[in-house]
Amino acid sequence: MSDVARLAGVSQQTVSRVVRGATNVDPDIRQRVEHAIAQLRYRRNPAAAALASNRTMTIGVVSFELSVLGPTVALYGISEEARQHGYATRLVTLGSLERRGIRAAFESINSDTVDGVIVLAPLLDAITVLEDLDIGVPVVTFQQGSHPSPTSVSVDEVRGARMVVRHLLDLGHDTVWHVQGPPGWMATSSRVQGWAAELGAAGRFIPAPLETTDWSAEEGYRVGCELAAREDVTAVFAANDPFALGVIKAMDDAGRSVPEDVSVVGFDDVKEAPFFRPALTTVKLDFEAIGHIAVSRILAMIKEEAEGDIPLLEPRLILRDTTASPRSRR
C-alpha cells in the first residue's frame, strides 16, 4: 500500500479509502490511485486487513434445508454481496429442528470467528431459540412473512398470497383451495394467512387447507389426487411451485385439464416455471435480493450505522397459462 501511495503521490490513508470503496475521494485522485494499483498489481491482503481492523472479515450463515429454494438462492446473494465487500462466509447448517441442535449450531458461531451472523432458517423454532441466545455479534434473520424490523429481511408473502386469491376470484371461481406448506415454516403460516384473509374479505367459503409433510412435488401430487377427486374444486393455490407441479400431474392423471377444468397457481417462480406444461402462473419472490440486503444491513450494524426498519420486498404475480375462468362462467 505504501508503494501505491508513493507512485500515486498520495497518503496511505487515501489508498486505503480507495481500496475500501469510500465515496469521499476526489475523482482525479481516485483515478491516480487506481492507475498505480494496476501498474503495481496491488492486491488487498484480507488477513492483514482483518488484523488492522480487529475484525475477522467473515460473516456466519446459519441455514436449514438448502434443498428449499428460498434459503438456497438467498445464500447465493449473501456470498456475492459479501465477496464484493472483502468478506468471506462461514456456513453452518442445521441438521434437525430439535432445539438442542439449533442451539448448538448457533453457539458454534461466536464473536471470535465471525463479525456478524445471517440466519437463513425461516422456522418458528429456530427464531424462538435465537431470541434466547447472546451470540455477541450483530444478527440479521430471514423471516418469511414477518413485519418490517431493523434486523429481519423478508418479502411480503401475505400480500403475495392475497394476490393469488384475488386473481382467481376475479376470474370467476367461487373459492380457492390451498395446498399448504409443512408445519413449522414461517412461509407456511404467512401464505395460509394471506389466502384465508383474502377469501374472508370477499365473503367466500374457506375450505380446510390440505396439509403436507415437506415441500416436494411428491407431496403436491399426493394431496392433488385428493383435490382431483372433488368435482367442486376449480381453483388451487399451491404454497410453492413443486406442489403446483404435483397438483397438475394429479389432475392430468384423473382426466381433468389445467386450466380448462381446474386453475392452479404456484409460489416462488422457480426457473423451470415457464417450462411447465402448461406454463405455471405463480408469485415471484426475489430471494437473491434478500441475501444482498441482509449483508448490507449486517455491514451497517458492524459499523454501527444501521438505521430504521428494513422494508419488505414486494412480490409479483406472474401470469402464465395455468389459470382461466371456470367452465360454468364461460
* Average pLDDT across the chain, whole number: 89
pLDDT for residue 328 is more than 70: no
Cα–Cα distance measured from residue 268 to residue 255, given in angstroms and rounded to the nearest whole number:
27
Reported as a single tens digit per residue, the pLDDT across 98-144 is 777 777 777 777 656 889 999 888 888 888 877 777 778 899 999 88
- Continuous segment of H or E residues that includes residue 253: helix 241-253
Widest Cα–Cα separation across the chain: 81
DSSP string, 160-209: HHHHHHHHHHHTT-S--EEE---TTBHHHHHHHHHHHHHHHHTT---PPP
pLDDT for residue 52 is more than 60: no
The pLDDT value given to residue 236: 98
- Continuous segment of H or E residues that includes residue 248: helix 241-253
DSSP string, 74-142: HHHHHHHHHHHTT-EEEEEE-S-S-HHHHHHHHHTS-TTT-SEEEEE--BHHHHHHHHT---SS-EEEE
Q: Which of 134, 135, 130, 65 is nearest to 94 (CA)?
A: 65
Cα–Cα distance measured from residue 150 to residue 179, given in angstroms and rounded to the nearest whole number:
32
Using alpha carbons, list the distances in angstroms from residue 211 to 194, 304, 311: 16, 44, 31
In one letter, which amino acid is 155? V
Average pLDDT over residues 74-97: 87
Q: Which of 131, 130, 89, 126 is nearest to 291 (CA)?
A: 89
Reported as a single tens digit per residue, the pLDDT across 199-236 is 999 999 999 999 999 999 999 999 999 999 999 999 99
Cα–Cα distance measured from residue 69 to residue 285, given in angstroms and rounded to the nearest whole number:
10
The pLDDT value given to residue 146: 85
What is the phi/psi pair of residue 34, to 5°? -65, -35
pLDDT for residue 48 is more than 60: no
Cα radius of gyration rounded to whole Å, the chain: 24
C-alpha cell at 285: 419472490
Q: Is the pTM of this model over 0.75?
A: yes
C-alpha cell at 121: 432458517
Q: Which of 187, 188, 157, 191 is nearest to 176 (CA)?
A: 191
Q: Which residue has the cell 420486498?
A: 313
Asked whether the beta carbons of 240 and 216 are under 8 A apart, the reply is no
* pLDDT band (50, 70, 90) for residue 72: confident
Half-sphere exposure of 316 (CA within 13 A, CB side): 8
